[in-house]
Structure formats: C-alpha cells, structure tokens
Structure 1
Amino acid sequence: MRRLLPDQRRRAAPWIVGLMTFVSLVVGVAGLAVIGAVADLSEAAEGRWSLQVTGTPADAARAEALIGGARGVERIDKVPEAELRRTLGQWLGPAAEQLDLPLPTLATVSMSPGSDGKGLAARLQREVPAARLTPYSAELAPLLATLRGLAVLVGGLLVVLAAALAGAVTLAARATLDSNRATLEVLHGIGATDAQLLSLVQRRIALDVLAGSAAGALAALVVMVAALIPARGMLGGYGGGPWVAAGGIALLALLPLVQAVLATLVARRALQQALAEGS
C-alpha cells in the first residue's frame, strides 16, 4: 500500500519542522543559559555585602573595626586605592593622576549563612553616618529581575513555537490527504479500512517530521558549537557552567523526538477529522 502513494520529494513539512526545531533548540539553550546565570549570580551574591565609606580615614577605620568585630563576619576585602585610581582613570584619563581627589573606601564583606546583615547595616548607619553597608543581592536585583523576565519570555516563545508546529503539521496532514485523495478512495474501494489509510498517511508524515527534526537539531548543534567556541573564555563566569551544558545536550537530544511524537499525534487527530468529514 505504501507504494501506491506518490513519493513527493519536495514536501514542505520537513523544512518547516526543521526550521522550527532549529529555532526551538537555540531559544531553549539560550533560556537555559539565562537560568544558569540567575542561579550563579544569586549564589555568588549570597552572604556578600558591599561597604562604602565616603567620610574621613577615621570614619573608614571605625567602620572596619565595627564590622570586623560583629558576629557572622568572616572577612573584609578592601579595594586597594591604586585599583580605585585606575578605575577613575578610565573616566578622567591622565588627569586622574594629577587631581588630588578624595576617594571613598570600598570593601567586600563576607558573612556566614544566617548572619544578621540588616541589623549590622542599621547599626553601622547609626554609629558611622558616612558608611553604608548594602547587600550584593540588592545591587543585583534589577539585573536578576531582567534575567528572570527573559527566562519567562523564552518559555513563552517555546510554547508559541510548539503551537505553530502543531498548526503546520495539521496543514501538512490535510494537504497530504487532499493531494492523495483519489488514490485513497481507490484503496478504500477495494477494501482498505479507514484505520489502514490513517496509518499509511500518518507514517509518511511521521517520517517527514522526524527527518525535519533531526536536520534542525543538527543545524542547531553546529551553530551553537560555532557560537560557543569563541566565547569559551566567558563561560567560566556567570554562564551556568556544567549544568547548562548538560541541560543543553539533553534538550538537543530529546526535543526532536518529543516534537516528532507531538507532531504525529497532532497529524493523527487531523487525519481522523479529515477522514470523518470525507466519509
């Protein structure tokens, strides 16, 4: 029976499915990278506070002594003045070395889990008004909110792509059925059942979808590898690390199969409705 259907080698379904698979994989891996960046940033900011003292050196010494003697404070890493002047030089140029500008005291304060950082910040504000102790999480909050919004956007895009794939497969299934309507009617007339005809057309669509998904996944793999090789030096930072790599590989392996199964089920439903309308 399979030989009775003409082999349409220029079918559009594999190309549409391949394109959607490619876009879904790239968007999905990008979403995993965003989620990994949120996790890395949140972990890096945990228990870390920023100390800024804009007053005199005596104010800075009092603030450091107060923080150093507080419970839960593990260490204070003061930013060297030379590094502050180098940073200032990026904005002012050579004039930064000639100007006698007062520089604030900056330091990173590391606290153990469960420490009362807010209480320490309030106490520091009362005793040393020129000093301020702020959590890294507060400074990173706008960035984290933006990244979480991007992750939600990625999820929405994947849902839209899945819906578009279902619609494209439905149209392809009906087009295949309509283009082979005469042959199917002959088969039906010589005793073929609706279940047999459904299985025949469904098999062709399933092979198209699987071929398109595999091609899209291969193209996505090539593009992502080519994009990540130049950026390998940045992946050691806030890129998600091995977790994102493992998640990307799993997504790359499973998405074509999931799409093929989903598209086959959608095509079967569309074919059942089309056969019911034609009978």
Structure 2
Amino acid sequence: MMAWLLPPPAMRRLLPDQRRRPAPWIVGLMTFVSLVVGAAGASVLGAVVELRDEAAGRWSLQVTGTSAEAARAEQLLRAASQVSAVERVPDKELRQTLRQWLGPAADTLDLPLPALADVTLRPGADGAALAARLERQVASARLTPYAAELKPLLATLGSLAILAIGLLVVLAIALAAAVTLAARATLDANRATLDVLHGIGATDRQLLGLVQRRIALDALMGSVAGALAAVVVVALALLPARGLLPGWQASAPLGLGELVLLVLLPLAQALLATLVARRALQHALAEVP
C-alpha cells in the first residue's frame, strides 16, 4: 500500500511537480465543511434524543382553580400508583418568571397565579388515562406531557439534523465533480509527458497509476489538513454550546458512535476523491486515440 502511495523518486520525477495543484485545496475545503456540518448535525441529533429521553415520563400539572382544588389534584396524583414523584413549583419562582415579562409591576399587580407542579410517571404508566381521570375529579386541573410542549422544538431540531445529512450528500456530490475536473486538469497539464511515455510503450494502466498516485496523495493531504482545521473550529465553537440547554453540562456533546463516524469521514473523503479521480482518468485516457 505504501509503495502504491509513495513510488520511487525516479517514477515521481516523470511528472513535473505542480506547486498549485487544485486537488489538495478542493478536498481540504470539502473535508473541513463536511466535518463541521457533520459535527453540528450529530450534536443536534444527540440533543433531540436527549431531550426526548428527558421528557419521557414527565408531565406538567396546571390547576387554575382554588388552592383547595390544587391541593386535591396533588393529593390524587400522589396517591396514584402510576406516579413516582410530584414536585410543586413554588409561587416565588412563578413570580420571578412573571417579573421577567412584566417587570416590577408583577409584585404589585394582584394577578391570579395557577398552581404548577412537575409530575414524574413510572415506566409504562398510561399518562393519558391518568390525565383524563384527574380532569373528571378536578375540573380545573390539566395534566399535559412535556413531550407535547417540546414537540415543536424537537421537530425543528429533527429538521436541522435531516438538513445536515442532506448537506453532507450535496458536499459529496460537489467533491466528486470538483475532483473530476482536477483529475482532468492534472492529466492535461502533463499530457506531453504522458504522450512520450505512451509512445515508448507505457500502457494505459501504468499511466493511470502514475497520475492516480498524485491525486491520491493530494486527496490524503487535503483531507488531513481539512480535518485538523475542522477539529479546531469544533473545539472552539461547538463544544462550549452544550451548556446552552439545561442538563447538558454533565453530558458529552457527541457519543462514541458519532465520534467514530466523524473520524472516518476524512478517510472516506480521500477514498471518494481517489476513486472518482481514477474513474475520470480512465475515461480521459480512453478518449485518447
């Protein structure tokens, strides 16, 4: 494998060195963008899974009636076998939240505040049946799942993850097209040398391998450089963002599976570039009479 990538100096001198070859820049740029998009998409997908897991089994109790009705609703929930915990939200926290919207007037206005509580159900509990039974017994009580409240957010995050996957596909197609042009440009730039080699008996396979080595090395160097640049950007921009949502501080922004896929992505980009270049060179050599 190393002999294929690093031919002897005598063979490397057959093609003059071009300091401004486009292939490394193209592959490096595509790898950089693909890794950044892939890391962002994996983080968003992880956020969707984490939020869905956090919301599973958690419900919100709202009682708009009297304090007696609120106490009655809490008592019924605490006595239910499907409920594992009921945590009342203090009125002080409700006032603080209201103050963020109304300012100091929230302390002076005599506004009726609903009674709120966080309810945690046991695994396998039928929350819908519990909510219906609670509403029949306490008319002013409503028990709603967190998943329903987070559904618009989860849908938006899911769309962003799908968009990231679509961008990766588009980038792969763009890389294939750009490398095809770069391979043909390399072949045209060295056409005189290749014609001489062809005239003294070199086969198309030998010429293909000679040009393909250069494209493969350019793709490998470009993918490594793009990956290193992407790692710096991800470390500086994406990793600190995990603290934007509560509960993310103690969790890893990317799982082991996502990290493995991101590590393999530069190698996949280099392999794709090499295979596409080989195909383009085969067609170009077949067109030569």
TM-score (normalizing by structure 2): 0.92
What is the rounded CA distance, in whole Å, between the counterparts of 2:173 and 2:144 in structure 1? 45
What is the rounded CA distance, in whole Å, between the counterparts of 2:26 and 2:190 in structure 1? 21
What is the rounded CA distance, in whole Å, between the counterparts of 2:259 and 2:141 in structure 1? 48
Does 2:215 correspond to 1:210?
no
1:52/1:107 contact within 8 Å kept: yes
* Count of residue pairs the alignment pairs up: 279
**Cα-to-partner distance string for 1:87-122 (whole Å, 9 max, x where unaligned):** 111111111111222110000000101111100111
User: Which residue is 1:81 aligned to?
Assistant: 91
1:53/1:59 contact within 8 Å kept: yes
Deviates more, 1:235-244 or 1:89-98: 235-244
1:50-199 superposed matches below 5 A: 50-199=60-209
What is the rounded CA distance, in whole Å, between the counterparts of 1:146 and 1:229 in structure 2? 21
1:248-267 superposed matches below 5 A: 249-267=259-277
**Cα-to-partner distance string for 1:151-196 (whole Å, 9 max, x where unaligned):** 1111000000000001111111111111111110100111111110
Deviates more, 1:48-57 or 1:64-73: 64-73
Does 2:22 correspond to 1:15?
no
User: Which residue is 2:6 aligned to?
Assistant: none
1:39/1:240 contact within 8 Å kept: no
1:36/1:238 contact within 8 Å kept: no
Does 2:256 correspond to 1:246?
yes
Could you tell me which runs of 5 or more consecutive residues in structure 1 were left unpaired when the two chains were aligned: none
The percent of aligned pairs where both chains have the same amino acid is 70
1:37-48 superposed matches below 5 A: 37-48=47-58
What is the rounded CA distance, in whole Å, between the counterparts of 1:110 and 1:130 in structure 2? 20
CA deviation after TM superposition for structure 1 residue 126, in Å: 1.6
Aligned CA distance change for structure 1 residues 58 and 116 (closer, same or farther; 3 Å): same
User: Which residue is 1:5 aligned to?
Assistant: 15
Deviates more, 1:244-253 or 1:183-192: 244-253
CA deviation after TM superposition for structure 1 residue 261, in Å: 1.0
What is the rounded CA distance, in whole Å, between the counterparts of 1:184 and 1:157 in structure 2? 38
Does 2:33 correspond to 1:29?
no
What is the rounded CA distance, in whole Å, between the counterparts of 1:35 and 1:239 in structure 2? 17
What is the rounded CA distance, in whole Å, between the counterparts of 2:286 and 2:275 in structure 1? 17
Does 2:288 correspond to 1:273?
no
**1:261 aligned counterpart, secondary structure:** helix
CA deviation after TM superposition for structure 1 residue 27, in Å: 0.2
1:40/1:240 contact within 8 Å kept: no
Deviates more, 1:24-33 or 1:245-254: 245-254
CA deviation after TM superposition for structure 1 residue 2, in Å: 2.3
TM-score (normalizing by structure 1): 0.95
What is the rounded CA distance, in whole Å, between the counterparts of 2:173 and 2:250 in structure 1? 28
What is the rounded CA distance, in whole Å, between the counterparts of 1:72 and 1:59 in structure 2? 21
Deviates more, 1:225-234 or 1:131-140: 225-234
Aligned CA distance change for structure 1 residues 31 and 14 (closer, same or farther; 3 Å): same
2:62/2:143 contact within 8 Å kept: yes
